[in-house]
Amino acid sequence: MSLIKDDLQDLLLKFCEPEDGLLQRIDRETHLKVLMPRMLSGHYQGRVLSMLSKLIKPRRILEIGTFTGYATLCLAEGLADDGMLYTLDINEELEDRVRGYFAESPYGSKIKYILGDATRTVNDLNEVFDVVFIDADKKNNGTYYDLIFDRVRPGGLIIVDNVLWSGKILTNQQDKDTRNISTFNDKVAADDRTEKLILPVRDGLFIIRKK
């Protein structure tokens, strides 16, 4: 999934902060015990998310797509003292594992883990967010973007994962998933309410700042 060669990726990891023990275990157990472990953000992307969160010091974070909670905990590292992170996911089979990880972390009391269809559960949240991280079903990226946009404060960040789709967005013969991602990227590029750039981190992170 990474667009960077392995030897360069190793060098990047050498010069970034290490994972803590819990994150290392989540990574290892996800790869050993959970289907589609490639969905996990991993060390380098996790440090990018942590750094962005710490720079903003958000009071409210929304994550759409929890998976096994790795990115959740990285984002939580930057929360303000009175901060709260809401993370939405539809996979009930992972609930016990994820709740266990959150309970072990120092941020457990600041995380609200909500199961259900995010296109519905997001409407139950009466919050204005400083950071939103979208990393769920790619066909709904545009839907999630529209649902949360007015809930993001001016100057807040929307971060969307997998927007380079292993480089497939460069191909002329695109499958349905790739077309969905290309359509979303074009939608954001045309949105003059934002400033935006794509970081070639892992599978592509769209960093979108609301004006």
Instruction: Provide the token pair at 96.
Output: 């016990």
**What percentage of the chain exceeds 90 in pLDDT?**
90
Q: What is the pTM of this model?
A: 0.95
CB distance 106 to 79 below 8 Å: no
Q: Does pLDDT of 31 surpass 70? A: yes
Q: Which residues lie closer than 8 Å to 85 by C-beta, 6 or more apart?
A: 60, 61, 62, 63, 72, 75, 76, 79, 107, 110, 111, 112
What average pLDDT is seen over the chain?
A: 95
What was the pLDDT predicted at 176?
A: 87
pLDDT tier at 169, thresholds 50, 70, 90:
confident
Q: Domains in the chain, start-ordered, CATH in brackets?
A: 6-210 (3.40.50.150)
**Which candidate, 131, 138, 186, places its Cα nearest to that of 162?**
138
pLDDT, tens digit (0-9, with 9 covering 90-100), for 84-108: 999 999 999 999 999 999 999 999 9
Q: Does pLDDT of 211 surpass 80? A: yes
CB distance 160 to 145 below 8 Å: yes
Distance in Å from the first CA to the final CA of the chain? 31
What was the pLDDT predicted at 4?
A: 78
| Alpha-carbon span 165 to 20, nearest angstrom | 28
**Locate tokens 């971060």: which residue?**
159
pLDDT, tens digit (0-9, with 9 covering 90-100), for 107-150: 999 999 999 999 999 999 999 999 999 999 999 999 999 999 99
**What DSSP element (H or E) covers 176?**
helix 176-189
What was the pLDDT predicted at 1?
A: 62
Residue type, 105: S
